[in-house]
Amino acid sequence: MPNSPITIAVDGPSGSGKSSVSRAVARRLGLAYLDTGAMYRALTWWCLERGLDLADQTTVAAAAKDLDLRLSTDPDAPEVRVAGTDVSQEIRTTRISGQVSQVATNLGVRAELRRRQRALVEELRAARGGVVVEGRDITTVVAPDAEHRILLTASEEARLTRRTTELHGTSTQEQLAATRDQVVRRDRDDASVSAFFEPADGVHGLDTSHLSFEESVRAVLDLVAHGATHPIAASTPDLQEHR
């Protein structure tokens, strides 16, 4: 674990490796892990369970403020609970993936969840010595003062292949086609309210298209260890309440 509190902020589009790489980095550095995307997925699940119209932005934003959400910050057990119900698996289903962008592009929702995310980052810095926080606009809005800000990117082909393999175990042409809408459309929709394809000033860009998982993890760890400012060449805690 680093000697002083540290925040590692990681952005990136779907399939860039940001979630799996961030968990591995948190595990190896002994830091907390915060998946901000899970917060939007949890809210989507909650709204659907209550029969709310996701297109009703005012109602959904109000639901975000009342959301009883608890996230584990253990990279080995990233559990998500809503009103006491474990939704860790349910929020990863196609049902949620296909609709979460309606919630994630709601500006009222984003304001509320960003507030919670910032507060939790500060809490984890103090209580756990630091956090790896990943999602959308983390490097520029949620944690712009993070000691390390990284944007993971990858080609569309690489991202589709990874996400398809994650969902189906293989990546046939039929499976790639079925997954394309989930990945490409969601990134396009989310890009209307968040920038995560090009690194902002001071943000380190890392293209993982031709990197293995272990190479990607090593590249991020090297960046943290050495404080690099230029792209690297490719070669269970208690649940935290968010109210």
Q: Cβ contacts of residue 51 below 8 Å, gap of 6+?
A: none
14 marked among binding-site residues: yes
Residue 157 has a CB neighbour count (10 Å cut-off) of: 11
16 marked among binding-site residues: yes
Contact between 204 and 148 under an 8 Å Cβ cutoff? The reply is yes
88 marked among binding-site residues: no
216 marked among binding-site residues: no
135 marked among binding-site residues: no
Angstrom distance (rounded) from CA 39 to CA 23: 16
18 marked among binding-site residues: yes
97 marked among binding-site residues: no
Contact between 179 and 167 under an 8 Å Cβ cutoff? The reply is yes
65 marked among binding-site residues: no
129 marked among binding-site residues: no
Closest CA to 61 of 105, 103, 109, 101: 109
| Sequential DSSP letters for 86-128 | E-TTGGGSHHHHTTHHHHHT-HHHHHHHHHHHHHHHHHHHHHH
Give the residue ranges of the annotated binding site for ATP: 12-20
Give the residue ranges of the annotated binding site: 12-20
